[in-house]
Chain A
Amino acid sequence: MQQLLAAILTMIAGVLACAAYFWGTNFILDRIFPSKGLSGKAASRNLRITNAIRPWLFLAPALFALTIYLIYPVIESVWLSFHDRGGQNFVGARNYGWMINDGEFRQSIFNNFLWLLVVPALSTFFGLVIAALTDRIWWGNIAKTLIFMPMAISFVGAAVIWKFIYDYRAEGTEQIGLLNAIVVAFGGVPQAWITLPFWNNFFLMVILIWIQTGFAMVILSAALRGIPEETIEAAVIDGANGWQIFFKIMVPQIWGTIAVVWTTITILVLKVFDIVLAMTNGQWQSQVLANLMFDWMFRGGGDFGRGASIAVVIMILVVPIMIWNIRNAAKEMRSH
Chain B
Amino acid sequence: MTPATRSPLMWAVHLSVLLIVALWTMPTAGLLISSLRDKDQLAVSGWWTALATSSRNAVARAPSADSQVERNGKFVISGNVLDGQAGQVSAFGFSSREPAAFKAGETAELNDGEKLTVQADGSFEIVSDTRMEGSRGQRIFFTAAAPPRFTLDNYREVLSAEGIGASFINSLTVAVPSTVIPILIAAFAAYALAWMPFPGRAILIAVVVGLLVVPLQMSLIPLLKLYNGVGAFLGVPAKTYMGIWLAHTGFGLPLAIYLLRNYMAGLPREIMESARVDGASDFDIFVKIILPLSFPALASFAIFQFLWTWNDLLVAIVFLGTGQDQLVLTGRLVNLLGSRGGNWEILTASAFITIVVPLIVFFALQRYLVRGLLAGSVKGG
A in complex with B: yes
| Cβ of B330 under 8 Å from chain A | yes
Partner of A156 from B48, B283, B354 at Cβ < 8 Å:
B354
| Cβ of B86 under 8 Å from chain A | no
Mark each residue of chain A from 149 to 161: 1 if its CB lies under 8 Å from any CB of chain B, else 0: 1111111110111
Provide the residues of chain B in CB contact with A167, threshold 8 Å.
344
How many A-B pairs have beta carbons closer than 8 Å: the answer is 352
Partner of A256 from B170, B173, B370, B379 at Cβ < 8 Å:
B379
Known contacts A160-B31, A329-B378; A154/B311 CB under 8 A:
yes
| Cβ of A56 under 8 Å from chain B | yes
Provide the residues of chain B in CB contact with A73, threshold 8 Å.
218-223
| Cβ of A255 under 8 Å from chain B | yes
Provide the residues of chain B in CB contact with A329, threshold 8 Å.
205-206, 209, 378-379
Assembled-state Cα–Cα distance A176/B30 (Å) = 11
| Cβ of A19 under 8 Å from chain B | yes
Known contacts A160-B337, A277-B334; A318/B351 CB under 8 A:
no
Known contacts A146-B25, A329-B205; A72/B359 CB under 8 A:
no
> Does the CB pair B337–A278 fall under 8 Å?
yes
Assembled-state Cα–Cα distance A59/B208 (Å) = 12
| Cβ of A140 under 8 Å from chain B | yes
| Cβ of A293 under 8 Å from chain B | yes
Provide the residues of chain A in CB contact with B21, threshold 8 Å.
143, 146-147
| Cβ of B281 under 8 Å from chain A | yes
> Does the CB pair B251–A69 fall under 8 Å?
yes
| Cβ of A203 under 8 Å from chain B | no
| Cβ of B247 under 8 Å from chain A | yes
| Cβ of B235 under 8 Å from chain A | no
> Does the CB pair B373–A153 fall under 8 Å?
no
Known contacts A62-B185, A74-B214, A297-B220; A147/B24 CB under 8 A:
yes
Assembled-state Cα–Cα distance A18/B42 (Å) = 51
Mark each residue of chain A from 1 to 12: 1 if its CB lies under 8 Å from any CB of chain B, else 0: 101100110110
| Cβ of A197 under 8 Å from chain B | no
> Does the CB pair B189–A59 fall under 8 Å?
yes
Stretch of B9-17, B100-108, B124-132, B141-149 on the interface side:
B9-17
> Does the CB pair A176–B196 fall under 8 Å?
no
Counting chain A CB atoms within 10 Å of each CB, the highest count among B21, B318, B350 belongs to: B21
| Cβ of B381 under 8 Å from chain A | yes
> Does the CB pair B205–A52 fall under 8 Å?
no
Q: How far is the CB of B369 from chain A (nearest CB, A)?
A: 8
Chain B residues at the A interface, C-beta cutoff of 8 Å: 1, 9-10, 13-14, 16-18, 20-21, 24-28, 30-31, 34, 42-48, 169-170, 172-173, 176-177, 180-181, 184-186, 188-189, 191-193, 196, 198, 201-202, 204-226, 241-242, 245-247, 249-251, 253-254, 257, 265, 279, 281-283, 286, 307, 310-314, 318, 325, 330, 333-334, 337, 344, 347-348, 350-351, 354-355, 358-359, 361-363, 366, 370, 373-374, 377-381
Listed A/B pairs (26) with beta-carbon separation below 8 Å: A3-B169, A22-B283, A59-B204, A62-B188, A69-B253, A72-B222, A77-B219, A136-B1, A145-B366, A149-B362, A153-B311, A156-B330, A176-B47, A177-B46, A219-B373, A245-B1, A259-B381, A260-B377, A270-B215, A278-B337, A297-B220, A307-B220, A310-B217, A318-B213, A325-B213, A330-B206
Given A69-B219, A156-B330, 4 extra CB contacts under 8 A:
A4-B169, A69-B253, A149-B25, A154-B358
Chain A residues at the B interface, C-beta cutoff of 8 Å: 1, 3-4, 7-8, 10-11, 14-15, 18-19, 22-23, 26, 30, 36, 51-52, 54-56, 58-59, 61-63, 65-66, 68-74, 76-77, 80, 87, 130, 133-134, 136-137, 140, 143, 145-157, 159-165, 167, 174-178, 181, 210, 213-215, 218-219, 222, 232, 236, 242, 245, 255-261, 264, 267, 270-271, 273-274, 277-278, 290, 293-294, 297, 304, 307-308, 310-312, 314-315, 318, 321-322, 325-326, 328-330, 332-333, 336
